[in-house]
A and B are shown apart, each in its own frame.
Chain A
Amino acid sequence: MTQSILSGVLSFVAEGVIVYAPDGTVTLVNPHASLLLDCTTDEIIHKQIDTVLQLTMENAPTTPFPGIAHTVFAKKKTYTVPQGATAYVTTHSGRRFPVFVASRTISLEDGVVGILVFRDITKEKTLEHYKEHTAQQLSELTPILQRAATGDFSTVPNVPREENEFTELYVGVRLMVEDLRQIAVDRKREQAERILAIQKTEADRRALAEEYAKHLEKQVEEKTEEITRAKVHVETLIDTLPNGLLEYDNAFTLLRMNRKAEELLGVSPNEVTGHQVFPRDLHKPHWQTLVDVSYPALAPVAKKMTRENAGKDVDITEIKVTYPLERELQVTTTPVLSRATGARQGFIKLVRDITREKTIARSKSEFISIAAHQLRTPLSAIKWVLHMVINGDTGPLQPSQKELLTNGYETNEKMIQLVNDLLNVARIEEGRFGYTFKQGDLMPVIESVLASIKGFAQSNQVSVVVKMPSATLPPLTFDANKMALVFQNLIDNAVKYTPVGGTVTIDVSVDKEHLITHIRDTGIGIPASQMPRLFTKFFRADNALHMQTSGSGLGLYLAKNVVIRHGGALTVSSTEGVGTVFTLALPLDARRIPQDDITVDDT
Chain B
Amino acid sequence: MKQLTCHDIGVDCDMKFVGESEEDVMRQAEEHAAHEHNLPVIPPNIEKKCRAAITDISTNSSHGTDTVTSPAA
| Stretch of A9-17, A154-162, A364-372 with 4 or more beta carbons under 8 angstroms from chain B | A9-17
Residues of B within 8 A of A11 (CB): 12-13, 36-37
Within A506-551, which residues are at the interface with B (CB < 8 Å)?
none
| Least CB distance, B36 to chain A, in whole angstroms | 7
| Stretch of A35-43, A186-194, A427-435, A560-568 with 4 or more beta carbons under 8 angstroms from chain B | A35-43
Residues of B within 8 A of A306 (CB): none
| Least CB distance, B5 to chain A, in whole angstroms | 11
- Say what secondary structure dominates the interface of chain A: helix
The answer to the question of B64 belonging to the interface, with a C-beta cut-off of 8 Å to chain A, is no
A29 CA / B39 CA spacing, docked (Å): 16
**Most chain A CB inside 10 Å of its own CB: which residue of B10, B11, B36, B37:** B10
B12 (CB) vs chain A CBs: closest residue: A41
The answer to the question of A34 belonging to the interface, with a C-beta cut-off of 8 Å to chain B, is yes
A12 (CB) vs chain B CBs: closest residue: B38
CB–CB A31/B49 < 8 A:
no
The answer to the question of B46 belonging to the interface, with a C-beta cut-off of 8 Å to chain A, is yes
CB–CB B13/A40 < 8 A:
no
B42 (CB) vs chain A CBs: closest residue: A35
A43 CA / B10 CA spacing, docked (Å): 9
Residues of A within 8 A of B12 (CB): 7, 11, 29, 31, 34, 40-41
The answer to the question of A260 belonging to the interface, with a C-beta cut-off of 8 Å to chain B, is no
With A12-B36, A14-B37, A14-B38 known as contacts, the answer to whether A39 contacts B10 (CB < 8 A) is: yes
Within A271-303, which residues are at the interface with B (CB < 8 Å)?
none
Mark interface residues in B30-51 (1 if CB within 8 Å of A CB, else 0).
0000001111000100100100
CB–CB B37/A12 < 8 A:
yes
Residues of A within 8 A of B38 (CB): 12-14
A41 CA / B39 CA spacing, docked (Å): 18
A31 CA / B49 CA spacing, docked (Å): 13
Which residues of B come within 8 Å of A, CB atoms?
Answer: 6-7, 9-13, 36-39, 43, 46, 49
Contacts A12-B38, A40-B7 known; 13 new A-B pairs at CB < 8 A: A11-B13, A11-B37, A12-B37, A13-B38, A14-B39, A31-B11, A31-B12, A31-B37, A35-B43, A38-B10, A38-B49, A40-B11, A41-B11
